[in-house]
């Protein structure tokens, strides 16, 4: 791609410049955390206005390719990992198929009365018990997602005998209890972490997170899992594929 702007062409200058900078990032010429030229430097190099340079940098920031540090400059952002919903295939399995070294930490497995909204989702009567399973997923020893799952005790009596850090929880539920995922209702929204979740994920309290909530049922309509997955927004991108 030419490193100069075509001022006589039909493509707007800001799009041409954005393409030049994007190629430097995606082509590896500028590595992660590389400091990129400032608005003034872009103005001097390409003969554009500061407003045009600002527009280009804002576009690349919106694409997640760069990030700004107040008083220090603009830098190439770490690459995000693109995965599909766990309803399609377990996150761990997806990451390993992409060649990432993954690990899972079991933060806790407790039996008790679930929150009222979870009990309603699972169709549990008053006082019914459920397992709360909390796991931390890591890629290359860095936390990327925090999983909290609620499983009715009546459907998985001795779930605490199993280790969901060693095997995926969905595989345990299907193989040991015949609870096969057949119907999933998902909601996705942005959020910020609580103080406790921020510590576990290794992020600040204002860090952007993706919250994926799932209600999972069998083919006969029996709900057997309610899960909340917090993904680090700076590390993970969720993809959704549809056949219409």
pTM summary value: 0.73
pLDDT tens-place string over residues 58-88? 988 887 788 888 888 999 987 777 777 776 6
Give dist(CA 55, CA 9) in Å, integer: 19
**Helices (DSSP H) in the chain: which residue ranges?**
13-26, 39-46, 50-62, 91-97, 116-122, 169-177, 195-201
For the chain, which domains are there? 13-76 (1.10.10.10), 81-239 (3.40.1410.10)
pLDDT score at 88? 64
Cα dihedral 203, 207, 210, 211 sign:
positive
Distance CA 55, CA 50 (A): 8
Q: Which 8-state DSSP code applies to residue 178?
A: -
DSSP 120-159: HHHTPPTT--EEEEEEEEEETTEEEEEEEEEEEGGGSTTG
Element housing 104 (H / E): strand 102-112
pLDDT digits (tens, 9 = 90+) for 152-187: 999 999 999 999 999 999 999 999 999 999 999 999
The C-alpha atoms of residue 75 and residue 83 are separated, in whole angstroms, by: 24
pLDDT at 95 over 90: no
- At 1, the pLDDT band (50, 70, 90 cuts) reads very low
Summarised one tens digit per residue, pLDDT across range 178-204 is: 999 999 999 999 999 999 999 999 999
Supply φ then ψ for residue 7, to 5 degrees: -80, -10
* 65 exposure class (CB count in 10 Å sphere: 0-12, 13-18, 19+): buried
């Amino acid at each position: 791609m030419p490193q100069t702007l075509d001022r006589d062409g039909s493509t707007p200058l800001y799009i041409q410049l954005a393409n030049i900078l994007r190629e430097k990032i995606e082509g590896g010429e500028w590595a992660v955390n590389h400091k990129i030229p400032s608005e003034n430097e872009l103005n001097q190099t390409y003969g554009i206005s500061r407003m045009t340079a600002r527009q280009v940098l804002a576009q690349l920031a919106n694409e997640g390719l760069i990030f700004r540090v107040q008083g220090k400059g603009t830098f190439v952002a770490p690459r995000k990992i693109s995965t599909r919903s766990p309803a399609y295939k377990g996150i761990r399995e997806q990451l390993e198929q992409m060649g990432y070294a993954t690990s899972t930490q079991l933060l806790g497995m407790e039996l008790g009365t679930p929150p009222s909204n979870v009990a309603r989702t699972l169709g549990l009567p008053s006082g019914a018990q459920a397992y709360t399973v909390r796991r931390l997923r890591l890629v290359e020893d860095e936390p990327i997602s925090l999983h909290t799952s609620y499983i009715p005790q009546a459907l998985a009596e001795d779930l605490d005998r199993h280790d969901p850090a060693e095997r995926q929880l969905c595989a345990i539920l299907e193989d040991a209890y015949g609870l096969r995922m057949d119907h999933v209702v998902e909601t996705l929204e942005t959020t910020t972490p609580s103080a406790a979740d921020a510590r576990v994920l290794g992020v600040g309290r204002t860090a952007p997170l993706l919250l994926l909530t799932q209600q999972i049922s069998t083919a006969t309509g029996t709900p057997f899992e309610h899960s909340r997955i917090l993904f680090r927004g700076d590390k993970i991108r969720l993809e959704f594929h549809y056949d219409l």
